[in-house]
Structure 1
């Protein structure tokens, strides 16, 4: 019986040696030449979120002229959006007295375009200085001249909308329409129809470029009640009303 144990022991030893040798060789090969699947496995990283800024463009309405505390509708919207965690910060690039051609010049600046391309929310107020020309357009009303002014300014507004949407296809963009601050003046009533025509054309452009249009025409009915002491810019209450209308428009986009 013992003579059979020795050959069996020898065979088992050879098998174990072979298995051990194969395992050692495989382990050594994995160290020297690691498997491709281990090298190529990607790590999961959270993508950097685009935007986080509310950028306001335009004229004195965006700057907040007329407000007792300097808070424009844009400043109010900015605070509310930050509080709701919709954006991280607010940047006001508006220039008091700006007209549509001035805004177009501003939009040619590389830094401005870069800022807009990274924005999450963008707002615009423009056109009032074109149309009213500090009241001269109303005091010296000329239908033909006013029509030409509207045509030029609307062309500029269309270019503005196109640039904004091109620079940022994803941002929530809204435009604050015009109201008539000269309703109580001699030719003021005639401007009701002109302002409404402006807003109607702006809404058409808004549909084309996916831009929300905020209607302010009905927010200014009584110039003494709804406007500041200069009877041109909104007072605190009207700025708040414009901001609330804007927030409703923005919120439905999130």
Structure 2
């Protein structure tokens, strides 16, 4: 095994309620924890979950711009991101889901995501990054499936292009979740079965097998994830 494969994994999970684990039956059964278990190869490996329910792309960008986070990024070997969904949820809750508003929000998400990935890549050119795309939530089937599906596919195509630009692994849940109402615990969040499916997508995207078998060849850095004071 090559030297870089033996370096301890330092995994940072950033994003919204999907990263936080809303809908999973226990904190150790959602995709973030499961992915880490597959990536780790020694007791020196560490991970930090900074998923925050309701976090929008603007709030995630602000979080990543924090000097404490920027100092942490070079030490990471893996980063996962879930973002964008809450931006559309706020539109829906405000009752402004017009085509113009959807397109405007999509462009804003695109700009922010590019900025987020640019900051991460600028701080750490070799870190493995995984970005979760969009699925159709149950209300979309009642409010207009065709338009909703078209919008979600548009967002996933946009995310695909951004991932190609920044060397990011794109995780696309759209077809896996299509017509799977039983995989949700509410209008937007997956239940445990849904989290299991997202876990499988991440594990496939990360190309990892059984626990302790090592990490991807291009992982780098050996410092465990430190605690960060974000107050002030």
TM superposition score normalised by structure 2:
0.80
Is the Cα–Cα contact under 8 Å of residues 120 and 171 in structure 1 kept in the other structure?
Answer: yes
1:50 shift after superposition = 6.3
Counterpart of 2:225 in structure 1 is none
Q: Residues 251, 85 of structure 1: CA spacing in aligned structure 2 closer, same or farther, 3 A cutoff?
A: farther
Is the Cα–Cα contact under 8 Å of residues 122 and 171 in structure 1 kept in the other structure?
Answer: yes
User: Separation in 2 of the partners of 1:225 and 1:53?
Assistant: 34
User: Separation in 1 of the partners of 2:179 and 2:38?
Assistant: 27
Three-state SS of the structure 1 residue aligned to 2:195 is: helix
Q: Does 1:142 align with 2:101?
A: no
Q: More helix by proportion, 1 or 2?
A: 1
Q: Does 1:98 align with 2:55?
A: yes
1:36-72 residue CA offsets vs partner (Å, 9 max, x unmatched): xxxxxxxxxx99x866211100000000001121333
Indicate the RMSD between aligned Cα atoms, in angstroms.
2.3
Q: Does 1:78 align with 2:39?
A: no
Q: Does 1:64 align with 2:24?
A: no
Structure 1 runs (4+) greater than 6 angstroms displaced: none
Is the Cα–Cα contact under 8 Å of residues 100 and 156 in structure 1 kept in the other structure?
Answer: yes
Q: Residues 87, 59 of structure 1: CA spacing in aligned structure 2 closer, same or farther, 3 A cutoff?
A: farther
Structure 1, unpaired ranges of 5+: 1-45
1:242 shift after superposition = 1.3
User: Separation in 2 of the partners of 1:86 and 1:175?
Assistant: 26
User: Separation in 2 of the partners of 1:221 and 1:134?
Assistant: 22
Structure 2, unpaired ranges of 5+: 209-215, 218-232
Three-state SS of the structure 1 residue aligned to 2:79 is: strand
Q: Which has the higher contact order (CA 8 A, sep 6+)?
A: 2
Alignment of structure 1 residues 1-254 onto 2, 5 Å: 52-70=9-27, 71-82=29-40, 84-85=41-42, 88-133=45-90, 135-136=92-93, 140-181=96-137, 182-228=139-185, 230-251=186-207, 253-254=216-217
User: Separation in 2 of the partners of 1:51 and 1:165?
Assistant: 20
Is the Cα–Cα contact under 8 Å of residues 11 and 79 in structure 2 kept in the other structure?
Answer: yes
Is the Cα–Cα contact under 8 Å of residues 121 and 172 in structure 1 kept in the other structure?
Answer: yes
1:101-142 residue CA offsets vs partner (Å, 9 max, x unmatched): 1011101212212222101111000000112327437x6531
Q: Residues 117, 63 of structure 1: CA spacing in aligned structure 2 closer, same or farther, 3 A cutoff?
A: same
1:196 shift after superposition = 0.7
User: Separation in 1 of the partners of 2:61 and 2:7?
Assistant: 25
Counterpart of 1:19 in structure 2 is none
